[in-house]
Structure 1
């Protein structure tokens, strides 16, 4: 797999009021009719460039090992679906037999790794959405997988089954909470390739699983939604999709794992729910619905991530940007640049936030059968506490 190298995660988070205002940019110092939002803002480094396939999930272990996922649900590529990036090279992980295409049963290999994360013990977790482009889901393909970087061995593989798994499921992203359940609980967003999104809750010790909030507004696409992508106003049409869309997608935990934050992809709202309630299999969907809190606007977000201070980072494919929601409900721009195209997987590590740029909105399925993607695809990182200059000079 080709790669060109450019460079050789607190306090509990309180649910902020939905009416908090975003932080305004400083006033311009030069009288001009220039649109000051046109210029780039913030700094980023290109960690890696990928010729093909496009990256999605990204995660780093406490020791700094960096892993990238390359799903196959959009393009059924022949490369590794999970790889470790080290010494300027992508290495299939945990080994070639598991990560590369093969004749092994879907349950015994990685099929299409999408969302990725680490738990509070530093172990790597991923959602294998199990989907190959143009093919139906196979039994055993969609699963939650845990790998211990200390041994490079799979220690958990929980196959998702009906009725938790639906034929049109798109198991998108996940977070792992080790504070509930004998061995922890996994929360998964099913954004759905159809019109049936939901949250999925899985007990690690027993594999017990269920589908929740499948009809709640917090997991659903917004009717009449319109996105502006690369300057084009695009209305959501489930029968003729023109941009990346879906229900429950982005997900992240508060630093103490007490709260789960999540959002539909085709929406600008952010939602939160206590994990103690969500992880309790005795609670009904009505109980869960009463516990959901609408936390207000956050823009169009694909990936979500949290830093140790409880601040939430959101990707935004309308503005080629990464924003940060502060604990008081205000927002900052971390980076905005035309090269930050279709920001997807996001992960906070030390003083940086890492993000993959897969150019998903340029896929043929959204552009009349024409694949408009232009490799390389990027993995970038941005400093999370650097001042973001707002240019007042003409472009």
Structure 2
């Protein structure tokens, strides 16, 4: 008799009440393969939770944490630049500069987006100048330098035409003190329309210009598909309306010696570089600059880029709710992957810690049929650049 017949007979006897209760054995669990890459990975801690506006820019200097809250997507009434102090946000450098007011746009902070520090530990920010639903006002878009030692603005460089276009979106910046008497600022204009470019500004003179606007490394790739929160979304204007955060050159970072600028379009998976000595030279033509651009290959979709002291590049990834690291040999490591890492945006390396803002930008109403799907709080997280080496217990001193 087969085993299955024995089990079936036992079940019948039990039902008839003629023998002690017996049950058929549970069928063996059917093995199912799982995607090992779907589980959270990498340690991180939540530095702050924000229940008001969504954060974007982040910079840390001298142990002080500064966060930018742009107004180009939502014209909020909070501070556009704040210092995180004792768990509270304080308008920075003061309320008169960072809070909404009737002061002329050139004299106040309108919409702080990307942020960074220079080799002297000073804070720099790009004010994209844009208020949601309003045209870009003269004097609104500018480069801001603040000295944390005095909490005073020491540089205010207004961007103007032809460097600034009506649809400009001055997105992020890096400051190189090795070129120019007071340094050179490199800015990514990812564009609210279809006109991205790199922008170069000499701090001492305020001289400025757009470069490489027509180069493929600056433009958004099209057609382009991204998978965001499990949804396959296509960027291919004008045939397809933008259904996720998209644009031209966006992420930007410098090598530790400031000799190389790395950059990437938002709607792209590629990473590019160019020598800063050439980019800072206002006498170089676009054709000359183009010959020096290097395509460094794929790095995934990225919003923010940051570099550590070893020259490793940290790249946010809004498709995988992750932050990756590109090593010097071109290999990659997963630093953080977690469902809470939604729209990782601004990223900054301070010593052996990496900070990143999570703004949920893909959930804005403009990408979701007019429905704002964001769910506060928004987060500022951080994680170590390197995990501590395991302790060898056999080498520990006794007792």
Fold match (TM-score > 0.5): yes
What's the CA shift string for 1:14-43, capped at 9, x where partnerless? xxxxxxxxxxxxxxxxx9611101100001
Counterpart position of 1:152: 151
CA distance in 1, matches of 2:236, 2:387: 39
Counterpart position of 2:296: 295
What's the CA shift string for 1:67-125, capped at 9, x where partnerless? 00000000000000000001111000000000000000000000000000000000000
Pairs aligned (count)? 357
Q: Residues 199-278 of structure 1: matches in 2 within 5 Å?
A: 199-239=198-238, 240-278=241-279
Tell me the secondary structure at the aligned position of residue 226 of structure 2.
strand
Tell me the secondary structure at the aligned position of residue 49 of structure 2.
strand
Q: Residues 121-160 of structure 1: matches in 2 within 5 Å?
A: 121-160=120-159
Counterpart position of 1:42: 42
Q: Residues 163-174 of structure 1: matches in 2 within 5 Å?
A: 163-174=162-173
What's the CA shift string for 1:246-301, capped at 9, x where partnerless? 00000000000000000000000000000000000010000000010000000000
Tell me the secondary structure at the aligned position of residue 165 of structure 1.
coil
CA distance in 2, matches of 1:236, 1:223: 6
CA distance in 1, matches of 2:275, 2:302: 21
CA distance in 1, matches of 2:388, 2:168: 41
Counterpart position of 2:320: 319
What's the CA shift string for 1:190-242, capped at 9, x where partnerless? 00000000000000000000000000011101111100000000000334110
In the alignment, is the contact (CA less than 8 A) between 2:222 and 2:236 conserved in 1?
A: no
Counterpart position of 1:286: 287
Q: Could you say which structure has the larger radius of gyration?
A: 2
Counterpart position of 1:354: 355
Higher relative contact order, chain-length normalized (CA < 8 Å, sep 6+): 1
Structure 2 spans left out of the alignment, 5+ residues: 1-30, 390-399
Tell me the secondary structure at the aligned position of residue 291 of structure 2.
helix
Q: Residues 172-191 of structure 1: matches in 2 within 5 Å?
A: 172-191=171-190
In the alignment, is the contact (CA less than 8 A) between 1:42 and 1:387 conserved in 2?
A: no
Counterpart position of 1:392: none
CA distance in 2, matches of 1:216, 1:181: 25
Counterpart position of 1:197: 196
CA distance in 1, matches of 2:247, 2:217: 12
Tell me the secondary structure at the aligned position of residue 218 of structure 1.
coil
CA distance in 2, matches of 1:148, 1:291: 34
In the alignment, is the contact (CA less than 8 A) between 2:125 and 2:145 conserved in 1?
A: yes
Tell me the secondary structure at the aligned position of residue 129 of structure 2.
coil
CA distance in 1, matches of 2:142, 2:186: 12
CA distance in 2, matches of 1:354, 1:254: 18
Tell me the secondary structure at the aligned position of residue 200 of structure 1.
strand
CA distance in 2, matches of 1:191, 1:238: 15
Tell me the secondary structure at the aligned position of residue 361 of structure 1.
helix
Tell me the secondary structure at the aligned position of residue 38 of structure 2.
coil
Tell me the secondary structure at the aligned position of residue 47 of structure 1.
strand
Deviation at 1:387, TM superposition (A): 7.4
Tell me the secondary structure at the aligned position of residue 75 of structure 1.
coil
Deviation at 1:52, TM superposition (A): 1.1
CA distance in 2, matches of 1:164, 1:248: 15
CA distance in 2, matches of 1:361, 1:100: 26
CA distance in 2, matches of 1:88, 1:37: 34
**TM-score, reference length from structure 1:** 0.89
